[in-house]
Structures are given as structure tokens and as C-alpha cells.
Amino acid sequence: MNIYEKRVAINESLIESESGFMLHSAGIIINKKGFLFLGDSESGKSTVSQKFNNNALITNDDKNFVEFKGFDTLFYSAPVNKEKPHFATEGEKGFLSAVFLLNKEWEKDSYIEKCEDKTVLWPLIIRSAPFPERNELFHPYYRLIDRFLDSSSFYKFYHNLKEPVDSVIKKILEAY
């Protein structure tokens, strides 16, 4: 079974049990607090992960699984293709504290805004969470997306890559 097939099998199993799904995201853990970074291609998920490399545990800078355990939301690395460079720590799980939607900021220092209207998040989550391959899993998939939106705090993160990492970490920890 190749990496793609493993990811699909795990994703379908999580969706079928209505316990989780895969998310195109970067995941980091700082001081036992877990954060996921979402964004379209080229929004900076890998770049932000690399910036935190010496200051946080990176679960994966590309694909993570989100799993619901009781009232907690956990995330952990999807299987990694060893032939492609990724920052990943397989086997580590983080308890989700917040989700940050990445936007590049070139003019000002990084800043964070709370995202109060979760209805605007639906399209981004759908683009970031691969659809199941089996048609009978579409209803559980959509219920899981709703659960994720209801159970997490979301923030818009306008990140300036020139800003020192200590300053950015402080903003993230203060935001949520």
C-alpha cells in the first residue's frame, strides 16, 4: 500500500466511524497547546511550520488527521512520503487549542483576528478536507466538518515572515 492509499484508508475509516478526517494543514504543539494552520496552496503552511521548527513540535506541515475523542479534538500526522521533504513527527498527538487561517502580510507585523462568523469557514474547510471516495460516507463527512467548526476556535492569522519567531509565538499564545 502506498502513502496515498494509506491516507485514504485511514481517512475513510475515521469518517466511517464518525470520529475524524484528514485535513490539509500544518500542525504544531507549543507548551502542550496544539494549533492547526489552514490555508490554500501557497498560503504559508510549510513556511510557518519551518519558522517554528526550533520552538515547537511539528506534527506535520502538510497533512494531519483530526480526531474527536469525547469532548477533545486531537490532531496528528498523516503518513509521510519519505521521498518528499516535509517537517513531520509521526506518532505525536496534539490537543487542538485553536485553528489559524493563514494569510500573507507583507506590510505590517503579523496580527491575528478572531473569526466569529464560522459560515465563511465552510468553503475553506471543504477545500482542505479531502472528500471520501465512497459515496455512502458523504453524510458522515459533512457531519464531521460541522462538528469541527462547532468544536474549535478559529482565527485569521496575517503572518509576516520577516517578523521574529518569538514575537509570532507570543501572538499565537495570546490570541486564543
- Beta-strand relationship, 154-159 and 93-104: parallel
pLDDT (0 to 100) of residue 89: 73
| Alpha carbon of residue 165 to chain centroid | 19
| Angstrom distances, CA of residue 143 to CA of 23, 43, 150, 158 | 15, 27, 10, 29
- The pLDDT of 9-14, averaged and rounded, is 96
150 Cβ contact list (under 8 Å, min separation 6): 118
Backbone angles phi, psi at 171, to 5 degrees: -65, -40
The Cα 63–Cα 71 span in angstroms is 23
Cβ–Cβ under 8 Å, residues 158 and 103? yes
Least confident of 27-41, 62-76, 141-155: 27-41
Closest CA to 52 of 42, 43, 62, 61: 61
pLDDT (0 to 100) of residue 50: 78
First to last CA, the chain: 40
pLDDT in tens, 77-100: 988 766 665 667 777 899 999 999
Backbone angles phi, psi at 106, to 5 degrees: -105, -25
pLDDT in tens, 92-135: 899 999 999 998 888 888 889 999 888 889 999 999 999 999 99
pLDDT (0 to 100) of residue 162: 81
- The pLDDT of 32-60, averaged and rounded, is 84
pLDDT (0 to 100) of residue 85: 56
